[in-house]
Structure 1
Amino acid sequence: MAGRTGPQKAEEPVNYDIRDIDDQQTWDEFVTAHQEANFLHAWQWGEFHASRGRAIVRRGAFDGTRLVGVYTGHVEPAKRGQHLQIVGGPIVDWDNRPLLKAIVADIRAQAVSHDCIYARIRPQLEKSETSLALMKSLGLRPAPMYLSVEMAGVLDLHKSEEQILEGMRQRLRRALRKAAKLNIAVETSTDPADIHQFYQIQLQTAERHQFVAFSEEFLSKQFAAFAADNNAVLYTAKHDGEILAQNFMIFYGNEASYHYGVSTKLGTKLSGAPLLHMHAMRDARERGIKRYNFWGIVDEHDTNHRFYGVSVFKRGFGVDELRYTPAHDLVIKRFAYLKNFVIETLRRKSRNV
C-alpha cells in the first residue's frame, strides 16, 4: 500500500538536519519499517544507478538524533538538460508539513548543485484529491511524462493460496492445471550471468508486443545490485528443458515486485507464466512479505493502450488497483524546462502511454 495523507498537523517550527546517509543498515532499516515502501527506495536501487555512472543522492532528515525521513535519487543526463529523478519516495510522514517543506527545499538544493533543469518526483503516496493539492502546495507541478508505475495491481498475501486461486479468472486456473499436467518445472537463480538468456528472450517478446527492449547491461546491473543481498531472483518455467517464461522478481521490505517478465513463442502456447507467479508468492510468504505487486496496469477501459493486453493478464489474478500520485516536477530552470515540457508532452501522446 502507498502512503496516505490525512488531516494536516499544525505546523510547528522545527529545524531538521538533512544530510547524506552513507550507511546501508541505517538506510534500509528506516525504509523497510514503512509498509508503503518498495525496492525503488532500497539502498540497492542507488547502487544500480551508480553502476551506470549516474550521480546518486541519498539524504536523510533528522529531528535531533532521530531519523524521520529519507529520499534517494539519481541525476539522469539528457540532451535537453539533466534532471534529478526521485521515484517511490520520499519515505516520510506525509502529514508533517514542516518536514515535507524541508525535504522539498533540500531536493531543490541538490538539483541546483547538480546543475539540473528540474527534479522529477513520483511519490510513494496513494493518489487522491488531497495528495494532488499537497503537491501543488509544495511548489510541484504535474510532469508531462510518467516516472515509473502510476497504477499497479497488488495482491494481499495475507490471503491463503486457496483464496487467491478462488479470486482468479478461470482461464488462469486452467493454465495452472495444464502446467501441472505437463509437468512444467520451475527453476530459480540469483546469478547475474543468467540475465543473458532473459535478455535474449526479451528481444523476442519486444518484437511480438512492439516495445523497446532494455539493454542487457541495464538488466544485468539491476539484477546484480539486488541479487548481492539475495533480493533479486530469476524464475524460469521449463517444459522438457525448453524455456517457456521467465520472471525477474525483486523482494524488498514488505513487497515482492514482479519487475519484468518475458516468454518464448512456446511459452505463449503452454503458458508457464502463471505458475511462476504462484511460486514467487510462496517464496514471498516464506520471507514474511505480505504484498505482491504485479507492477504496472492500465485502466480496464483503456483498450488502445499498448500495455492493455498484459494488464488483462495481471488483473486475472484478482488484483486490487493501487493508484500512485503521478510524477510531479520541481522546476529549477524555467526556460529550459518549458522546452522539455513541450517535447515530452508530444512524446507521451505519440507513444500512447
Structure 2
Amino acid sequence: MDYFLQGRHWAGVQRALGHNVHEQAGDGWRFLAVEESNPAGKLLYVPYGPLADSLAAFDSALEALVALARRCGAVFVRIEPVSAGFDNAGFDSSAADTLLRSRGLRPAPANLQPELSWIVDLDGDFKDVLAGMKPVNRNLYRNIHKKGVSFRSSRDPAEISVLLEFLHLTAARNGFKPQSDEYLSQVARSLMPAGAATLFIAELEGSPIAAALAYDSDDTRTYAHAALDDTHRKLSAGIPLLVTLMADASEKGLQHVDLWGVAPADQPDHKWAGFTAFKKSFGGRGVSYPGTWDLPVNKLRYGAYQLARKAAQAGKKIVRTLRGRLRR
C-alpha cells in the first residue's frame, strides 16, 4: 500500500499550513518529515513512516532522520513505521516492539495515527467487493435511488462547506470537537484541485443530506471525514455514500480503500466500537501497525521532557484522587 500521509500531496498540505517539511529518499526507503514542537522543543514527525522495503533500508532511513534532526536542532524524531521491512525479515507484529527498542526507539506517550485500520481490497470486479458486504449495504446501494437519493462527487474546494456543516451538527449532537474549519478548508484547497481529494455528496431531491471526503494516493483511497444530516438518518445514506466512494475508487484503478481507524476486537466498549461495526460491514480485512515511537536525538533534553511529563501525570492523578475523596 502507498500511504497518503507520506506522499507529495500531503507535503503540500503541511507547507500550506505553515510547517517546514523535509522529503528524503534512498535505496529502498523514503520519508516525509514535518517540523513540529512540543514542551521538549522541536521534533520531526514522520506520519506513517518512514517507508522501507527491508530492515537494512529502515536502518538507513533512521540514520538519515537522525542526521536531519541534528541539522534542524530537533530534540527527537517521532515515527510510525507501518512499512519497515518487518515482514521481509520474518518478524511478526509481536516482535516489532523488540526490534524497535533495539534501535533506541521508545513508545511515544500516545499513538497519533490509528494503530489498527480496516482495508477493503478492490482486486477484480467490483461485484466481488459488493459480495463481501452485508446484504443491507448492497441493497441500499442498489435501491436508495428509489427514495429520491442521488450521489455526486466534487473537486471544488468551496463545496467543503457542505461537509463542515454536517460535521458541526454531528459534533453538537455527539459532544466531540471536530478538526477546525480552517484546517479542513486548507486541506480542500490544497488537495481537491490537484485530484488528490474528492468530496462525495448524497442528496435528497437536490439537497445535501450527507458528505464524505476521501484522500487518494497512487494505489489507495482513504476514507477521511464523513457526516450526515440527522434529520434524514432513517435513510441510512451514509452506507450507499461509502459504497459509491469505493466504486469510484475501483473505476479509477485504485487497489485499496482504507477505512481508517478501528477498535480492538477485544474492547467492545471502546469509543470507536460503533464506527468499527459500521466499517466492518463493508467486508475487508484488519491491519495492525507498531504505533507511534520516539527516537531521542538530544537525549538529555528528551529525558528531561519525559521526567516532566511523568511528574505532570502524577500530579493530575493526585488531584483526581483528592477530588474523589472530597466528594465522599
With normalisation by structure 2, the TM-score equals 0.85
Matched, 1:249 2:214: yes
Aligned to 1:328: 293
Q: Judge conservation of contact 1:104–1:138 (CA < 8 Å) in 2.
A: no
Q: What residue identity is the alignment partner of 1:167? A: G
Displacement after TM superposition at 1:91 (Å): 1.8
Q: CA RMSD in A?
A: 2.4
Q: 1:39 to 1:188 in 2, by over 3 A?
A: same
Q: 1:309 to 1:301 in 2, by over 3 A?
A: same
Q: What residue identity is the alignment partner of 1:155? A: V
Q: 1:243 to 1:236 in 2, by over 3 A?
A: same
- In structure 2, distance between residues paired with 1:345 and 1:46: 37
Q: Judge conservation of contact 1:85–1:121 (CA < 8 Å) in 2.
A: yes
Displacement after TM superposition at 1:177 (Å): 4.9
- In structure 2, distance between residues paired with 1:213 and 1:298: 19
* 3-state DSSP of counterpart to 2:119: strand
Matched, 1:113 2:82: no
- In structure 2, distance between residues paired with 1:346 and 1:228: 48
Aligned to 2:111: 146
Structure 2: unaligned runs, 5 residues or longer: 87-91, 321-328
Aligned to 2:233: 268
CA deviations over 1:207-259 (Å, ceiling 9, x no partner): 22332111111112122222232121000001122322111011211111101
Matches within 5 A, 1:1-353: 36-61=1-26, 67-79=27-39, 81-96=41-56, 99-125=57-83, 128-177=93-142, 179-332=144-297, 333-340=302-309
CA deviations over 1:69-125 (Å, ceiling 9, x no partner): 2111111233553322101211212332xx332321221232233333322111123
Displacement after TM superposition at 1:155 (Å): 0.8
- In structure 1, distance between residues paired with 2:32 and 2:235: 41
Q: Judge conservation of contact 2:141–2:243 (CA < 8 Å) in 1.
A: no
Q: 1:306 to 1:120 in 2, by over 3 A?
A: same
Q: 1:228 to 1:342 in 2, by over 3 A?
A: farther
| Structure with the largest fraction of helix | 2
Larger Rg over CA atoms: 2
Displacement after TM superposition at 1:162 (Å): 2.8
Q: What residue identity is the alignment partner of 1:74? A: V
Q: What residue identity is the alignment partner of 2:73? A: D
- In structure 2, distance between residues paired with 1:95 and 1:345: 37
**How high is the sequence identity, in percent, across the aligned residues?**
24
Q: 1:344 to 1:300 in 2, by over 3 A?
A: farther
Q: Judge conservation of contact 1:80–1:340 (CA < 8 Å) in 2.
A: no
Q: Figure out how many residues of one structure are paired with residues of the other and give that number.
A: 306
